[in-house]
Structure 1
């Protein structure tokens, strides 16, 4: 999943996608532990996708907190 695709997702979709990717990663790790999977780089790509999704989620949460603080400051 590319960053441009991640930016188009809503926050709820990002959370759902993180859960889905984590499930995929655990399945890949288990399959690789039992017997070698055809493309072990898929594990690396799954980890990086999870990291990209979590980074965007963190950025959105930080922006929301900053917006709330800014609004609270303006009200005083």
Structure 2
């Protein structure tokens, strides 16, 4: 997913996506270990996507805290 699409999701949806990508990463690593992975670059893509998701979650949570502090 591209970062623009991720930013449109809610925090709960982002957490669900995070879980999905973690499972995919596990499966990719397993396939790589037994020699069945045809596209090893996918591991890198999934790791970057996970990092993007976590960054966006952190940004949204920090933004919510700032908004509450302003009240």
TM tier, shorter chain?
Answer: over 0.9
1:31 — aligned with what? 31
Bigger Cα Rg: 1
Match status 1:60 vs 2:60:
yes
- Between Structure 1 and Structure 2, how many residues are aligned? 71
Distance in 2 between residues matched to 1:68 and 1:10, nearest whole Å: 17
Deviation >2 Å, runs of 4+: none
Distance in 1 between residues matched to 2:28 and 2:54, nearest whole Å: 19
Match status 1:41 vs 2:41:
yes
Q: Name stretches of at least 5 consecutive residues in structure 1 with no aligned partner.
A: 72-76
Distance in 1 between residues matched to 2:31 and 2:37, nearest whole Å: 7
TM-score calculated relative to the size of structure 1: 0.88
Distance in 2 between residues matched to 1:68 and 1:48, nearest whole Å: 30
How much is the aligned-residue C-alpha RMSD, in angstroms? 0.9
Distance in 1 between residues matched to 2:8 and 2:64, nearest whole Å: 17
Q: Name stretches of at least 5 consecutive residues in structure 2 with no aligned partner.
A: none
TM-score calculated relative to the size of structure 2: 0.94
